[in-house]
């Protein structure tokens, strides 16, 4: 199974990708909790693509793969913005004293925590966030 969406950078377009993930997840027989966590990670990756993709639209690829005796649901989100250094992205502080810490910039942290494997390749003009979730044995 492979599904590709080419989406414009417009408000709430991330919900189109979320719906696609939900439909694929249901078809694969995944639990609602698994589907929701993959959906949230996909939404966050789409939001990053919308924010950093120079308003040029972005692509979402959803597919299942088999590797190493495991089956995986793989989501890739690709944009053509300015790129960034994924190693330089750190999660904001958990300090909740008012105004003491920025509350934004949690997207990549959420993606990494909700998915089993995440790889980010980024350079000027091309960023690909590849997220994998284990869905069973082959």
Partner 1 sequence: MNDQRLELSSELMAGGVGLVAAAGYINNEGGQAIADVINRLLDRGAVALLIDLEGTRIINSIGVSILLEVLEKLMEKNGRLAFCNLTPTIARTFEIMGLAEYASIFDDRETAIEELTRLNRAD
Positions in the binding site for partner 1 (CB under 8 A): 12, 14-16, 18-19, 32-33, 36-37, 39-40, 43-44, 47, 94, 96-99, 103-104, 106-107, 109-110, 113-114
* Cβ 56 to partner 1 shortest distance, Å: 21
**Burial of residue 127, with CB atoms counted within 10 A of its CB: 0-12 exposed, 13-18 middle, 19 or more buried:** buried
Quick one: 95 or 137, whose CB is closer to partner 1?
95
Q: Least distance (Å) from partner 1 to the CB of residue 99?
A: 7
Cα–Cα distance for residue pair 119/121, rounded to 1 Å: 7
Q: Which is nearer to partner 1, 112 or 132 (CB)?
A: 112
Q: Which contiguous run of DSSP H or E holds residue 59? A: strand 58-67
In this structure, the number of other CB atoms found within 10 A of the CB of residue 55 comes to 10
């Amino acid at each position: 199974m492979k599904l590709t969406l080419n989406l414009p950078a417009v408000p709430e377009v991330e919900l189109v990708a979320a719906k696609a993930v939900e439909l694929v997840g249901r078809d694969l027989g995944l639990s609602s909790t698994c589907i929701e966590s993959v959906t949230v990670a996909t939404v966050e990756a789409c939001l990053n693509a919308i924010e950093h993709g120079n308003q040029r639209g972005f692509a979402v690829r959803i597919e299942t793969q088999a590797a190493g005796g495991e089956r995986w649901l793989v989501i890739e989100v690709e944009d053509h913005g300015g790129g960034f250094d994924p190693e330089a992205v750190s999660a904001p502080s958990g300090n909740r004293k008012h105004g003491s810490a920025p509350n934004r910039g949690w997207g990549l942290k959420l993606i990494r925590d909700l998915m089993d494997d995440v790889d980010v390749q980024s350079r000027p003009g091309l960023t690909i966030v590849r997220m994998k979730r284990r869905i069973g044995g082959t």
